[in-house]
Structure 1
């Protein structure tokens, strides 16, 4: 831990350049130097001078496996260079105080009372309290700190800003009070517990795993408490493409029921066979009992079950294609995933708001702009939010201009796969590779 002045001087002299060029693409080095410098200024303005430490946690992109994790399925995901960063200072008082840039109020959590609070549900302070509670229950140490956070993960952009926030808080408590002993998988589970139990969102584990482990990873949730994680070497630019996330302008605020219905309907089909999750059944079973499943569970539940099984098979093929360097095959699988999500999973828009179909508009505009080039699909939870697009580098400028003419200035975010998850930037002798 060093003073703000010492870290700002180190930033100016390039002392953090090796670390920053691991967390961000090299062409963003100067931008990130300035960003961390400004973060330290903001911390000082809010909490005063003194020693600090710096932390970072990435957003994530889902590369395959749309709505499969919650039914013990397969996923392909990656951490990205758009991240949350924090300057923090430990305190003797058992209180966490966090000021997030752009928000008027400060999150204040008293660590002497870690019971869930109804009035905090769906607020960031619920995530902080839930993380502290779970870490305490697992035998980790927690303590107070003052922190200032800035974010480049757009809200509602399908890059899991909530999971990035959770992993950042775990990374901070891990670094300040546990000597870095909380492993990435445990950090993800702690974060999921906080989001499920304290925040009140019934999410799976994929988002937190991708933000915590880092890089491109395949995930098998057959045993959800002990998921199989394997790294998959992948950087989109090496195949002559850019990976873009296009924000459609929709809000997730009133979509909790839509998200909750997806795993619930899949599990209803699983329950038809006396199983807990769809992974324990098979596509053959679902096809053989289609008429009765439709009668008992409904047509949409049957369609979503079919999506689950076919999407699982696609993830296997996507991982194989990337390992073999067959990007053209991977793109075809991305397109097939998009069709399945649209037609069978049905998460391209909310049936309650048919006038608002931003994802469908973005997909249609992308198809017209790219023709037979590239690949595209709904991204993340769906219903509102973003689409994912693989764009040939030669067409990137034209595509970005074209899609932003439809969806609005700043809607298109080119992203880069980051090789590490939540980290302490100021950790001495850290190896982020």
Structure 2
């Protein structure tokens, strides 16, 4: 457990639960945020992506209720929310709390008997950072619900893949964020010191992840997260617009998905699209899927120098072809590279959030200071920078 996630959190959550609800929780569970090394907006295009879990986690203390209500309190957001499971899609879905109550709803839709919960959340994944605070909350609630309601079918890797799809449905149908499943899979399937190669071509329950070694410290390197504090939201319409553009391109091309288009086909395929915008979107997705394959190959060969060009090309593609970067992300990436980062790129859904850099361990402080200074020079909000290691999956902590 990293210094940013002190061992005192479960104990403090138990005390907070007593203060909020007057009783003792049945347990404490947590799920990690994630960094995506490469492969943005590829999951819903049946492509590949390469995320890893990070030590910053969402923690929940929970106990079952006798009725069908979720009562939830956050240590980061003032106030208590109470949401009824019945009529959820027709009524008030609860804002940020929708990510939690949606999991109960999705479990019920999958045929399970669930009831209400009292929940206290301590979310240590920065909100709006592009590090998947929402999926961390969903997955922490999901593993808690599985334990508390004694639900079968979610043990082992295959069961965790099924639980990830429960959380995806919660986010899509209740929270209203049209995400593709990478974040939930990372939170539930990750392993320490490994990245997770996910293939979304086919039924999720049939596609096992591939665990790729990712222990940078053994090679004198570190993974630096650069949270720009340029907040983004996956339910504000921009993410959904990109998904709709990809769907439109698939319809025009008459292919089952953009995964079916190979990099060597682009010169032949792109002229068939009537819109230059759609041509750029397709070029990004197809080339990004190929970059995931090349990155996995580089990591397996321990050829970290090869990541320089792959990350550079990925960021340029997201900036120019998919148009999901922003001045803060570009500044973070360019500054990190100028001051010694081996490789850098934005990560996550875009329109704000975080960038990442692979940096010689001896240069982490230098790169961090340079990015902070560059943000001050541009009069951006002060960024939050911290190194991370690849962490393990959602779990019970107490």
Q: Aligned pair 1:164/2:136, yes or no?
A: yes
| Distance 1:418-1:44 versus aligned 2 partners, 3 A rule | same
Unpaired runs of 5+ residues, structure 1, are: 1-23, 350-356, 427-433
Q: 1:314 aligns with which of 277, 291, 295?
A: 291
Residue matched to 2:15: 41
Select which of 174, 178, 181 maps to 1:205: 181
Decide whether the 8 Å contact of 2:30 with 2:395 is kept in 1: yes
Aligned equivalents of 2:142, 2:84: Cα separation in 1: 16
**What is the rounded CA distance, in whole Å, between the counterparts of 2:149 and 2:307 in structure 1?**
42
| Shift, 1:327, TM fit | 2.1
Note if contact 1:117-1:198 (Cα within 8 Å) is conserved in structure 2.
no
The CA deviation string for residues 119-144 of structure 1, in whole angstroms up to 9 with x for no partner, is: 427x2333333322221122223122
On the 8 A contact 2:177/2:234 being kept in 1, the answer is no
SS in 2 for 1:232: strand
- Over 3 Å counting, the alpha-carbon distance change for 1:346 and 1:82 in structure 2 is same
SS of equivalent residue, structure 2 residue 302: coil
Q: How does 1:291-310 map to 2 (within 5 A)?
A: 291-293=271-273, 296=274, 298-310=275-287
Would the aligned equivalents of 2:73 and 2:79 in 1 still touch at CA under 8 Å? Answer: yes
Which structure 2 segments of 5+ residues have no match?
Answer: 376-380
- Answer yes or no: is the 8 Å Cα contact 1:338–1:377 preserved in 2: yes
CA 1:290 to 1:33, structure 2 compared with 1: closer, same or farther past 3 Å? closer
| Residues 342-370 of structure 1: per-residue CA shift (max 9 Å, x gap) | 22222113xxxxxxx21122223223322
Alignment match, 1:431? none
How far, CA to CA, are the matches of 1:89 and 1:290 in structure 2? 54
Q: Does 1:217 align with 2:217?
A: no
CA RMSD for the aligned pairs? Answer: 2.2
Cα gap change, 1:380 to 1:255, in 2 (>3 Å): same
May I ask how many residue pairs the two structures share in their alignment? 385
SS of equivalent to 2:129: coil
Alpha-carbon distance, 1:203 to partner: 1.0
Cα separation, 1, equivalents of 2:199 and 2:234: 30
**1:103 corresponding residue in structure 2:** 77
TM-score (norm 2): 0.90
Provide closer, same or farther for how the CA distance between residues 272 and 396 of structure 1 changes in structure 2, counting only shifts above 3 A: same
Q: Report the TM-score when normalising by structure 1.
A: 0.83
**Matching of residue 383 in structure 1 with residue 354 in structure 2:** no
Aligned 8 A contact 1:241 1:391 in 2: yes
